[in-house]
């Protein structure tokens, strides 16, 4: 997409992108012209336990509101997703489309309406057209296959430059269990295109309340600690389906050793997907970890981390490879957290630039070398307590302004 793009993660070996008991397909339904995959279907052959996390925005898209309703049954069989139109800010007509398309899929697959989740990403405010689904849904149903997930990852993309997939296998009770994750997103809200979406499929057997607890925990340390531009979309959705096909004893407590094993794998998978979103951030050339440590509590650490990670002045300095610790210090200062500035240390990777609140100018050349890397860690140590947090962000480039300013011109 751009010569400036340096951080990119290639699509994995598509042959491996399978999970027992799940099938998928993607088609060109005509939403985004003739030549782009823009509609996809994920199907579980058996009823799957389902967990979900959704945007916290007050302005929720119709499919988000519908999925929140359908989630209450605890069971799911299918996810229908389209790119091109977000079906957000689309009123009663938009909600009717979300419901009608879910019913269409339910009838085609002979499952309950509430077993179908629908997700949309694209332009806010436009209406979907039923013709796209009349054409797309039957084609999706007939082309479902175990190896269809790579195409789904592509059909979900909007301003993404690469599809985002992760797969992890682990052993639970002597059975091999697979977890496959797909994600899309390149800005929290993109050039009039919305959203971060992620779908995670596993053949593990997990009780629905345990599944929801696990997903919420995984999202807190992955999709909820990344930022490209500080904007939260109307459509953000993460869905986790567990169909139990692996055949192990079901996980019914988050505290069991097997559940903890699964949690670790899920955490790793969702974090890797989240980092792929940041690395593919609009115009991004750097992947930056902002680590705040020595805070009195986790909330303080997170406030400071988010303020730094969203500061346009910090992000443009990273683009300019400028070890501008004054901007980091100043962003920390306005985060609404009490701390003693005379205790603060700041590092770029291992290079210390601030000691007890004062600059170490002799280290600037070494710090500049750190910023020339594709990814690095900025650490702010408050020396006020023992709580930490990490927020993941990207830099702010000319390309960001170009993508977001020139999109429709």
Residues at the contact surface with its own copies, assessed by CB under 8 A: 56-60, 86, 88-91, 123-126, 187, 189, 192, 194, 229-234, 310-313, 316-317, 319-322, 324-327, 329-335, 337-339, 341-342, 354, 356-359, 361, 396-398, 400-402, 404-409
Answer positive or negative: Cα dihedral of 73, 76, 78, 84.
positive
Nearest to its own copies of 265, 394 (CB atom): 394
**Start-end of H helices in 221-311:** 257-279, 298-310
Least Cβ distance, residue 61 to its own copies (angstroms): 10
Closest approach, Cβ 204 to its own copies, in A, equals 33
Rounded distance, CA 351 to CA 357, Å? 15
138/405 with CB nearer its own copies: 405
- What tokens were used for 172? 């639970």
- Closest to its own copies by CB, 203 vs 300, is 300
Cβ proximity to its own copies: between 208 and 330 the closer is 330
At 106, list the tokens: 């339910």
Longest dimension (CA), the chain: 70
> Which residue among 121, 158, 159, 195 is the active-site one?
195
Residue pair 97/63 in contact (Cβ under 8 Å)? The answer is: no
Tokens of 339: 């701390």
Q: Measured from the CB of residue 272, what is the shortest distance to its own copies in angstroms? A: 25
> Which lies closer to its own copies via its Cβ, residue 50 or residue 228?
228
Contact 110, 77 (CB under 8 A): no
**Please, what is the minimum distance in Å from the beta carbon of residue 372 to its own copies?**
11
* Min CB(393)–its own copies separation in Å: 12
Radius of gyration over every alpha carbon of the chain, rounded to an integer in angstroms? 22
Nearer to its own copies, 128 or 241 (CB): 128
195 part of the active site? yes
Minimum gap (Å) between residue 92 Cβ and its own copies:
9
Cα dihedral across residues 211, 243, 177, 200: positive or negative: negative
Query: What CA–CA distance (Å, rounded) separates 388 from 380?
Result: 10
Residues catalogued as catalytic:
195
């Amino acid at each position: 997409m751009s010569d400036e793009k340096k951080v990119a993660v290639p699509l994995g070996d598509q042959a491996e992108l399978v999970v027992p008991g799940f099938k998928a397909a993607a088609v060109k339904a005509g939403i985004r012209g003739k030549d782009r995959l823009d509609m996809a279907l994920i199907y579980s052959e058996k009823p799957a336990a389902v967990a979900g996390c959704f945007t916290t925005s007050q302005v929720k898209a119709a499919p988000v509101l519908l999925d929140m309703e359908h989630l209450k049954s605890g069971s799911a069989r299918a996810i229908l997703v389209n790119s091109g139109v977000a079906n957000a800010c689309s009123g009663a007509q938009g909600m009717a489309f979300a419901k009608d398309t879910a019913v269409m899929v339910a009838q085609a697959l002979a499952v309950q309406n509430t077993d179908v989740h629908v997700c949309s990403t694209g332009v806010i405010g436009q209406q979907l057209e039923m013709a796209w689904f009349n054409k797309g849904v039957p084609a999706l149903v007939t082309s479902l296959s175990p190896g269809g997930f790579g195409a789904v990852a592509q059909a979900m993309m909007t301003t993404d430059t690469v599809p985002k997939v992760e797969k992890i296998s682990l052993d639970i009770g002597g059975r091999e269990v697979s977890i496959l994750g797909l994600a899309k997103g390149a800005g929290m809200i993109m050039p009039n295109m919305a959203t971060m979406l992620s779908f995670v499929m596993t053949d593990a057997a997990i009780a629905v309340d345990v599944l929801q607890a696990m997903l919420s925990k995984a999202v807190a340390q992955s999709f909820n600690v990344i930022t490209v531009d500080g904007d939260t979309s109307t459509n953000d959705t993460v869905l986790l389906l567990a169909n139990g096909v692996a055949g192990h004893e079901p996980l019914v407590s988050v505290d069991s050793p097997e559940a903890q094993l699964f949690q670790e794998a899920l955490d790793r998978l969702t974090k890797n997907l989240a980092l792929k979103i940041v690395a593919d951030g609009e115009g991004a050339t750097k992947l930056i970890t902002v680590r705040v440590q020595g805070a009195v509590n986790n909330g303080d650490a997170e406030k400071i981390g988010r303020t730094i990670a969203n500061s346009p002045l910090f992000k443009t300095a990273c683009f300019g490879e400028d070890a501008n610790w004054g901007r980091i210090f100043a962003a920390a200062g306005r985060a609404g957290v009490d701390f003693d500035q005379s205790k603060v240390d700041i590092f770029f990777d291992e290079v210390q630039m601030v000691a007890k609140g004062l600059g170490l100018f002799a280290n600037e050349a070494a710090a500049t070398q750190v910023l020339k890397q594709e990814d690095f860690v900025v650490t702010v140590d408050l020396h006020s307590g023992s709580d930490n947090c990490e927020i993941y962000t990207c830099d702010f480039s000319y390309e960001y302004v170009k993508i977001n300013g020139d999109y429709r011109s």
